[in-house]
Structure 1
Amino acid sequence: MANQAQQTGLFNQDALVGILFALLAAVGFSAKAILVKLAYLDRVDAATLLALRMAFSVPFFIGVALWARRQHAEPLGTRDRMLVLVLGLIGYYLSSFLDFLGLQYVSAGLERLILFLYPTLTVILSALLTRRAIARPVIAAMAVCYAGIALAFVHDAGAMPHGAVLGASLVFASTVSYSVYLVGAGHAIARIGAARFTAYAMIVATAASLLQFAATHPLGALDVPGRVYGLALAMAVFSTLLPVFLLSHAIRRIGSGSTSLIGSVGPIATLVMAYAFLHERLSSVQIAGSALVLAGVLIVSAHSRRAPA
């Protein structure tokens, strides 16, 4: 009995650590929009900010790539190299750039809600690829999601009337891009390995970001306030590297389903941080829209986990 109690205590402790890691990962990912908006106060543009964030992140991913290469003796085949190249460009570079552009026009709260729609888009893309009909409860849940986005957009259109449509469209395009990446990455990750695939894809995205900056900006564009460098570094550490680690450890302790459920606090965390640090106004319309999006996405995600592969 004592042995069993000790095992239960260890299990509970491990589960609590997993829950804490999942929460911290969700908050870390959610803080990215806040950091981007704060950097924009110093009139830095999206391409420069993205290049700085990726440049600060990439040394870590190069280290992971070197470690993963030693763990996997077999080199990547031509097909896998093309997958890494294409998915790295779509999922990490294009998605991030569109998101950074969109944040110039919409609130951090609306941006996070739109990004949170990715499970609905992966369901639609998977259904198109497999030619499998989407269940009616899922269609109804997706309708609830997009009704919630419409309400949240009404809030932004009133608070930020200039460019709200453009900003929401850019962030939605970012979400589509990330969803394409998720649908395409599953089989590649199974063959290549999660760490190696992520590291290689991030290196590709960093190269694309730096090349874009070099082609469109003079070197003098890097002469930005030190505060921007600090925010870009914080983005790399607290909204990229640490959440990736925390998320993987959370999944190992409490499973992907529970981790995904806890991750739904992300949009709420963004709204709270936007109110606290950016002084973004909270309205009953925005709160109602957020509630609809969260409810719909949770239903879609739960049904997707139950659906046969």
Structure 2
Amino acid sequence: MKSRNTFLYGICIGILGIILFSSKAVMVKLMYNYEVNSLDALLLRMLFSFPIYLVIAYLYRNKENSAPTTHKDYVWILVFGFVGYYLASLFDFIGLTYIKASLERIILFLYPTIVLLLNRLFLKTKITAKQLLVIGITYIGIIIAFGQEVQFSGNDTYIGGAFILLSAFTYAVYLVGSGWLIPKFGVVKFTAYVMLVSCICVFVHYGIAGSFDIFNFSWEVYLLGFLIALFATVIPSFLVSESIKRISSSNFAIIAAIGPIATIILAVLFLGEKLSLLQYFGALIVILGIVLINLKKKKP
């Protein structure tokens, strides 16, 4: 009974974490209504996140690691913080200036297929014919959803889609590369460390290329920045980590299919976005494809 309750609890907090993560794109789009550019929005997200992660890193600084760490491991922390959260977030925020929040989440949801392909390329993990078929079907779904959006919104959709795809790719690189490092530090410490690195990267970027209008926005912008940092970054990052710990990454990957659905619903409610029936069909194909891939991975 206890293990069953643990599993159900893991599913519940996983779903909550996914929904909170999915709200990020919607809040970023709302922020753009106040003439905020992508770098300003990203800076506000990291400014509000930084002190929270700093406190968490300090509290867990003396927590023993499950395995000995070396200076090289900390170098990899820098690498994964740069690639996994700085570049992925930057590409995502830029892409959102061009495309709908709902379409962003559909494209971003391709990262499990990219993980599969990267594992094959670098770790020589075998990909079965069925997995290749499912990957192909998944990308057909993207083409359906993306192609019709080009008809509605014009060629800027290509630019936005390219940036979101880059975000999915860099996040997939982070997942493939950091898997061996997380057990050394523990989930909480590792997450706090890489997020702090990401925050510093954003601060440096803003110092070089920022508009320095950070104190001239309306109060709604700062409120949205705080909400993105707390409810779409910090809280879900730990909810998802705890869920994976309780139900396994394979099971979590399956319930993660709720992400695009949650974003579409939130985008309709708060942004007034609309997708055509053909785009909904494409989104459904993508979601089913990712679920099938992870169901396949779950089998021994």
Query: TM-score scaled by structure 2?
Result: 0.93
Structure 1 unaligned regions, length at least 5? 1-7
Structure 2: stretches of 5+ with no match in the other structure = none
Q: SS in structure 2 opposite 1:109?
A: helix
Quickly say closer, same or farther: Cα 1:243–1:150, change in 2 above 3 A.
Answer: same
Q: Distance in 2 between matches of 1:179 and 1:38?
A: 27
- Cα distance per residue 1:206-248 (max 9 Å; x no partner): 0010111111124334411111111111111111112123223
Give the counterpart of 1:269 among 248, 262, 265: 262
Instruction: State the distance in 2 between where 1:97 and 1:181 align.
Output: 14
Report the equivalent of 2:53: 61
What's the counterpart of residue 188 of structure 1? 181
Contact 2:187 2:241 (C-alpha < 8 Å) held by counterparts? no
Residues 188 and 238 in structure 2, CA contact (< 8 A), matched pair in contact too = no
Question: Residue 274 of structure 1: SS of its match in structure 2?
Answer: helix
Counterpart of 1:224 (choices 217, 226, 231) is 217
Look at both structures and tell me which one has the larger radius of gyration over its CA atoms. 1
2:292 alignment counterpart = 299
Alpha-carbon shift at residue 252 of structure 1 (Å): 4.3
**2:274 counterpart SS class:** coil
CA contact (8 A) 2:106 2:142 kept: yes
With normalisation by structure 1, the TM-score equals 0.91
Give the structure 1 partner of residue 63 of structure 2: 71
Residue 10 of structure 2 corresponds to 18
State yes or no: 1:49 paired with 2:41.
Answer: yes
Counterpart residue identity of residue 108, structure 2: L
Q: How is 1:116-195 mapped onto 2 (pairs within 5 angstroms)?
A: 116-195=109-188
Q: How many residues are matched?
A: 299
Greater mean deviation of Cα atoms: 22-31 or 89-98: 22-31
- The one-character-per-residue Cα deviations of 1:162-182 (angstroms, maximum 9, x if unpaired) are 410010000000110001111
Q: Mean Cα displacement is larger for which, 176-185 or 159-168?
A: 159-168
When you count helix as a share of all residues, which structure comes out higher? Answer: 1
For 1:255 and 1:84, locate their aligned partners in 2 and report how far apart those are by CA, in whole Å: 23
Equivalent positions of 1:246-261 (< 5 A) are 246-261=239-254
What SS is found at the alignment partner of 1:71?
Answer: coil
Query: 65-74 vs 117-126, which deviates more?
Result: 65-74
Shift of 1:131: 3.0
